[in-house]
Structure 1
């Protein structure tokens, strides 16, 4: 035989496309179709089933953007098809795009029972195998005409389609054919045989014997197919392939644990309400596939999505619960949603696991040991401790493979967090959370696997995701052929827990990666959609206050603790921390609703706080002003105010004119000079006897950069944005406004107004900024060039802080040109430092430069990222008014930074009553130990739960006291408030609980009220 390799490959591709795949359905007959379109939002199933319909023919446009249409599909199986396998092939008007980004449907029986989801690559519905002939078909399809936001073929273009309010009403789709069809399983299997062998052949060495063996077999099979009678000759063609398909994998073959998967974004290019339906469609398909394929295993994360099915599609949920009980449908991850992990605060990150794991335990009796975050945009260094404290020990993610500068050196390793906790971690080398079981993907996994020689296995999340769809029967068929196939990785369906157990057993001492898992991509998600980020931060702070004061009022006044309200609010906040909502990478509809939701939650939480504080304060007519301070630190040390301070009637000092223009703010601790441009040209720390601002430079400097990344508009900011920029130094107005200096700047189509003030008794410069933002594709920064020589700086993260270098010695440091902080950034020389704190921003950068001339000092510049203006997926991102609060704290230690960060986010509250003062319910005698939560136990036992952590990065001894009841027993617990089996009883002394904490250690104490 002398067949040319390229000719055989080309022949295979055409014969598959034009002859074999069409022959899978050799006989078809049309179904009758009628339609009813809802006038507004989706309606209940019963209403959709009962709605009047009108006939619609193939080729007819249908479906307004984000609309819902109910199709009535009827027909009869021809009598002559008796004994054959029959299915319906239902084409809603699918485009070549993958599932999840276009129209979808859910087929219902006449009684409303969900039958199966419809997606562009999974559009068949079984009728019978075999049929008797004469079976009557009557289905109703709830079809969503979700617009394809990239339908133009050019991705990431601004579009009004991302919000129902701006999308218009033009039909989005053209109805395709709706037919009954005979399913020829032999031809379908031939197609699967040829696809697997063709894909494998393409990945094998050109000069390898196995490739040519397959090539010859494929050639013989194609010769055996009569192109005019594919159905009659398919088995003969399969016989020619049997030998090469039977050749077993070599013992050293890479082992792939396939896990059915449908990574469904809880919101992204669709609103939350549509995700509810996407999950139901996908779960319907996966439970059906589980019934059809005995080896198939499907895993689904995000307790919120299970809860949606339970609430909205109980019939589907019943099927899910049965499959879970059978061990085939596996809840994984143990989190409420697959959240962002950079920006959620300490407690929010902990509650992701609390609420997720508790749901799985209560609903299924299952506790997932794996954190499952395939698509999250990088991982904060505090996460390992949280995972372990939730009772888990493993993590799976794939996203770091997207990094653009450096290739991560491991696929299986220990990840060590800031406190020393290590988590067994796996990055699937298939480099996809949407594996389709192609030969190319599996060959890539085997070649890419970094642990060759010491480990043999990896995991492949298999199925269409992002917008849902899940695993298909074709993927299962391909996996079956590669269970043991020479030249291919060996594939087996396994649960994540089984994979991890085997991986740990064969690789007990993997390498260790210490610190954050920084994604060298999607850095702009720390800034996009500023109001969503402010809503998240404010919600976290209000939840802390609500739990604290409700618990205090319950213990001291018998106040009814609002369990249900707090549980519901927490779950709503956690949902909005999903990795395309909080990061700002969803459509306009999502963020519009988020703003509305945050406003509603804030009002509700303010009400809970007010009611609890009123219960503590007593009769408001009492006339005594009571200060409620929610900040964790109850002690503070502030030097006495110097004689030069000029007190005002408020909390600040009065600005005085400055020689040469501008103003001076001086409270005896800090002297701040603001020039005529409204720029801070001097901040003098009187107690530290040194200048803060680098010589010849100005702080509080707004800087504007062009911002047009190469891809992923809302997600990315590329390093070249720094090449061009302008300093906003022109001021329209600089004047005194009460106890502050007011600066107004106009630039482009936007305006910024700032108020700069210095409190009377604190060493800090407060900066309140309001921006009326109307720029496009611009990036706004707030810069502070500091006269500090710092080789590294600290950023607050969950339960501590992480250090990052200020230099760029290697490509790893260079790639961190935009990073995340929570409430503070801190730079320090030995013995003296500066903190920049905030109330709502996360993105920032820190750079260093050595000055020339006689000074030759080092300038460390800290810049807070305020606003962006990307145009995709929301073309109006961040347009409008925004407010930010920052404070510059000279002479600050890490402890000062922690305290100032809490102060900026938890302002004092003052009300009148009859009580003289409200003492803290929980007191800690060491400022290095911070209280992150005070609440009542979730099991409603009435026990008090206190969570604390060491915040300075050193060892700390502290005594925890309760002012409200005697501590007779205290139990260290996990995050789910269950006693830790290996923890002995804590030491008691001086009426409190004694803690000895290692650096950044987090502890949860459960304190029964007896």
Structure 2
């Protein structure tokens, strides 16, 4: 058919240009509609459908700008079907350069619209089908909510990865305008549209097959014949389609794999948009998929995250009822047992348990369904404690694809058993397409089949197809391609099905599957363990405070236990465990809300504790009670109330000392117990010491004038624990190649900038503890204050470090080079520990 690669490229380009020309004919005719709009003046928050009539509307035409970044507006679209469109298939044709949602006048949601993404120009959804047989004179009356945020927020169009944008620059976090490009009534040519799908599908199949394949050569010939027909008559779409039927009717071989195609729309609750915009994305996407389920019998869509369903239930109850019916009819699959697709490294074990409690209970209460899979395709690594937690939650299967993002090493399996720290094994699948936004094309599925590592024993793989994050999920063309690939020679067999059925289909080969033991570590996004430190700090405080308050409330009495309040508090915390919020990989707008929610929760827990205290304790200005909520004994230092000088416990004087403007005391408390301290008169003042040595009967720590720990001597073991000075602060350039707030690339070690300059260092000692205070500067403008303490009954040296950070594109690290020669370290994880090299 062709003589060399250049000859082949010539005719391939001919095919692509023919497809482009046919696509231009999909819209046969169009006419502008009458449009008025109202910019709500409430960026991000917006105005509900019911409140839309309170605005001041003004006319707007194609070419006009209607908003700037994060603005929301309502559009009223009206018109009449003209005589020329009678009997034809008509659609709304909308391009407002951003996302939007179309509503009927009665408030019923119709569908999402959108026009491309800065990451994927193919992610278009500009058409709203109305009828296949238009009636002249029929009215057109719709409402459109528009949001000035693309599928990826308001990310700048140019590459700003390596640019230092001034912090006062209003476009620092991105810039975008909303503009009316098209709001029209259009005549839709279904034959032309179907032909583009046929031609693109065959071209993808051609490109995915081996160059010596007979099938490939015949596809190329068929496409050239199709181009010949279109060349003779550009509008002869049906004849062109008919010419391709013989090549598309050939069936696949028995050796091809079976693809379980699951309609999917990965929606990040918050990321490059605030959560308020994320909940609008849920409405738009779910509306799309309900419509497609009705248009395509047999198509199945699936969605995880009960929090998203709660958003839709609250915001669009009529749409929510349609979803419930679709679940009942088996056309919509509930996926994932967690409340949100949570980060799995930072939250505590109790938080992971609560994800399952609230997630599974929601699906059971609302839909009567027990969801038994964990569905988190985009999380930054998976704790080895998860299999045990999953098993105890009644979850026995797991899906992700994120590990395919590994920076260096390729994970060895796709379908396997994942074993956790207690020996629990979970049936796991990594879809070999290595994406959760599959295009559902032959080329993609052929590549998936080739990459699948268990093909010798397994014949089934999963494909998660559709455009996520505001793309609205699968489009009609995705589904049309899947239907054509049900049994098409040269590519795997495609069937619409559920994740549940996929995992059930693996039971016969379970004994042949490999096993992976330990954590599923992602070699990427390492910076998310420290980015946005305040969010992580408040999260840990809340995890502890919630547990403590539940214990206190139980002590007050079961009858008055605030179940509903705890439910709301936990759900807010769990929402902020979403895998782009707590890791620190979201935009500033997200954290403004998260910080406030955390602060409100801490304040509410303070109020709950203040309310409970009089029910458990008798007020006495001369005594104070300390409660140990831990499950083990605790010994340490507490701060006494203001105005106290010393204290006794059970009639015995306890050790206290004066530090700055407060008094500290050394106490010991049994697990889940309390002690009462009585106010006393005397205390010992802390004294300054010249030598920078913190020592007790167990250990001896020595610092130098630069604030470095030069010796850590264990008296009991007779071991010097350091081989080089510790507490060494080092500053490096931080310019990862891809994700600025996410990644720490290995080459940062070669871009050392400098260390600290000590401004002051002072050691004070007393009968309770030694206190070393260091103030230092680092970088251009940053300051570091350390309060380092050693109590008299412990080996533990505590560092309380506060950094006033004023650097850009810098990474701060602290080193403690130990003298211990160990091939591995035991690292704390949820409910256990993990050994790492």
For normalisation by structure 1, the TM-score amounts to 0.74
Query: For 2:338, which of 324, 329, 335 is the aligned residue?
Result: 335
Cα distance in 1 between the residues matched to 2:114 and 2:691:
65
Q: 1:185–1:355: structure 2 CA closer, same or farther, 3 Å change rule?
A: same
1:32 aligns to 2:26 (yes or no): no
Three-state SS of the structure 1 residue aligned to 2:505 is helix
Cα distance in 2 between the residues matched to 1:2 and 1:382:
57
* Alpha-carbon distance, 1:11 to partner: 0.9
Q: 1:704–1:772: structure 2 CA closer, same or farther, 3 Å change rule?
A: same
For residues 433-472 of structure 1, what are the structure 2 equivalents within 5 Å?
433-472=436-475
1:119 aligns to 2:121 (yes or no): no
For residues 332-731 of structure 1, what are the structure 2 equivalents within 5 Å?
332-554=335-557, 560-616=560-616, 618-621=617-620, 623-634=622-633, 648-649=657-658, 650-651=664-665, 662-694=691-723, 697-725=724-752, 728-731=755-758
Match of 1:846 in 2: none
1:107–1:114: 8 Å Cα contact kept in structure 2? Answer: yes
2:281–2:469: 8 Å Cα contact kept in structure 1? Answer: no
1:197 aligns to 2:202 (yes or no): yes
Cα distance in 2 between the residues matched to 1:159 and 1:110:
47
Q: Could you tell which deviates more after superposition, 677-686 or 445-454?
A: 677-686
Q: 1:745–1:486: structure 2 CA closer, same or farther, 3 Å change rule?
A: same
1:85–1:184: 8 Å Cα contact kept in structure 2? Answer: yes
1:192–1:474: 8 Å Cα contact kept in structure 2? Answer: yes
Match of 1:641 in 2: none
Cα distance in 2 between the residues matched to 1:647 and 1:384:
46
Match of 2:94 in 1: 90
Q: Could you tell which deviates more after superposition, 447-456 or 721-730?
A: 721-730
* Alpha-carbon distance, 1:85 to partner: 1.4
* Alpha-carbon distance, 1:152 to partner: 2.5
Three-state SS of the structure 1 residue aligned to 2:365 is helix
Cα distance in 1 between the residues matched to 2:715 and 2:174:
65
Match of 1:746 in 2: 777
Q: 1:165–1:326: structure 2 CA closer, same or farther, 3 Å change rule?
A: farther
Q: 1:108–1:466: structure 2 CA closer, same or farther, 3 Å change rule?
A: closer
Cα distance in 1 between the residues matched to 2:180 and 2:83:
27
Query: For 2:17, which of 9, 14, 22 is the aligned residue?
Result: 14
Cα distance per residue 1:766-812 (max 9 Å; x no partner): 2111111001111112222222122111111111011101xxxxxxx
2:733–2:753: 8 Å Cα contact kept in structure 1? Answer: no
In angstroms, what is the RMSD of aligned CA positions? 2.5
* Alpha-carbon distance, 1:81 to partner: 2.4
Q: 1:272–1:194: structure 2 CA closer, same or farther, 3 Å change rule?
A: same
Match of 1:5 in 2: 8
Q: 1:171–1:259: structure 2 CA closer, same or farther, 3 Å change rule?
A: closer
Three-state SS of the structure 1 residue aligned to 2:512 is coil
Cα distance in 2 between the residues matched to 1:580 and 1:188:
37
Match of 1:926 in 2: none
* Alpha-carbon distance, 1:599 to partner: 1.2
* Alpha-carbon distance, 1:31 to partner: 1.2
* Alpha-carbon distance, 1:83 to partner: 2.1
Cα distance in 1 between the residues matched to 2:35 and 2:167:
30
Cα distance in 1 between the residues matched to 2:569 and 2:302:
27
Match of 1:273 in 2: 276
Q: 1:162–1:548: structure 2 CA closer, same or farther, 3 Å change rule?
A: farther
Three-state SS of the structure 2 residue aligned to 1:758 is strand
Match of 1:896 in 2: none
User: How many residues were matched structurally?
Assistant: 779
Cα distance per residue 1:336-375 (max 9 Å; x no partner): 1101101111100111111111100000011111100100
Q: 1:791–1:646: structure 2 CA closer, same or farther, 3 Å change rule?
A: farther
Query: For 2:180, which of 172, 175, 199 is the aligned residue?
Result: 175
For residues 147-296 of structure 1, what are the structure 2 equivalents within 5 Å?
149-154=154-159, 156=161, 172-225=177-230, 229-230=234-235, 233-296=236-299
1:338–1:372: 8 Å Cα contact kept in structure 2? Answer: yes
Three-state SS of the structure 2 residue aligned to 1:205 is coil
1:256–1:457: 8 Å Cα contact kept in structure 2? Answer: yes
Q: 1:724–1:181: structure 2 CA closer, same or farther, 3 Å change rule?
A: closer
Q: Is there any run of 5+ residues in structure 2 with no aligned partner, and where?
A: 116-123, 638-653, 659-663, 667-683
Cα distance in 2 between the residues matched to 1:364 and 1:534:
36
Q: 1:349–1:447: structure 2 CA closer, same or farther, 3 Å change rule?
A: same
Cα distance in 2 between the residues matched to 1:692 and 1:201:
64
1:150–1:157: 8 Å Cα contact kept in structure 2? Answer: no
* Alpha-carbon distance, 1:314 to partner: 1.2
For residues 302-317 of structure 1, what are the structure 2 equivalents within 5 Å?
302-317=305-320
Q: 1:157–1:703: structure 2 CA closer, same or farther, 3 Å change rule?
A: closer
* Alpha-carbon distance, 1:166 to partner: 6.7
1:324–1:330: 8 Å Cα contact kept in structure 2? Answer: yes
Match of 2:648 in 1: none
Cα distance in 2 between the residues matched to 1:161 and 1:72:
39
Three-state SS of the structure 1 residue aligned to 2:240 is helix
Cα distance per residue 1:915-935 (max 9 Å; x no partner): xxxxxxxxxxxxxxxxxxxxx
Cα distance in 1 between the residues matched to 2:444 and 2:610:
57
1:654–1:665: 8 Å Cα contact kept in structure 2? Answer: no
* Alpha-carbon distance, 1:157 to partner: 6.1
Cα distance in 2 between the residues matched to 1:764 and 1:328:
58
Cα distance per residue 1:511-557 (max 9 Å; x no partner): 000000000111111111111111111111111111122112226xx
Q: 1:170–1:484: structure 2 CA closer, same or farther, 3 Å change rule?
A: closer
* Alpha-carbon distance, 1:606 to partner: 2.4
Q: 1:290–1:651: structure 2 CA closer, same or farther, 3 Å change rule?
A: same
Three-state SS of the structure 2 residue aligned to 1:63 is strand
Match of 2:649 in 1: none
Q: 1:171–1:412: structure 2 CA closer, same or farther, 3 Å change rule?
A: closer
Q: 1:334–1:647: structure 2 CA closer, same or farther, 3 Å change rule?
A: closer
Cα distance in 2 between the residues matched to 1:75 and 1:730:
72
For residues 823-972 of structure 1, what are the structure 2 equivalents within 5 Å?
none
Match of 2:65 in 1: 61
* Alpha-carbon distance, 1:179 to partner: 1.5
1:433–1:461: 8 Å Cα contact kept in structure 2? Answer: yes
Q: Is there any run of 5+ residues in structure 1 with no aligned partner, and where?
A: 94-102, 639-644, 806-1010
Q: 1:498–1:171: structure 2 CA closer, same or farther, 3 Å change rule?
A: closer
Three-state SS of the structure 2 residue aligned to 1:620 is coil
1:35–1:72: 8 Å Cα contact kept in structure 2? Answer: yes
Match of 2:119 in 1: none
* Alpha-carbon distance, 1:729 to partner: 4.9
* Alpha-carbon distance, 1:760 to partner: 2.9
1:71 aligns to 2:75 (yes or no): yes
Match of 2:304 in 1: 301
Cα distance in 2 between the residues matched to 1:205 and 1:131:
46
Match of 2:661 in 1: none
Match of 2:680 in 1: none
Cα distance in 1 between the residues matched to 2:66 and 2:169:
16
Match of 2:760 in 1: 733
1:66–1:164: 8 Å Cα contact kept in structure 2? Answer: no
Cα distance in 2 between the residues matched to 1:255 and 1:161:
53
2:262–2:463: 8 Å Cα contact kept in structure 1? Answer: yes
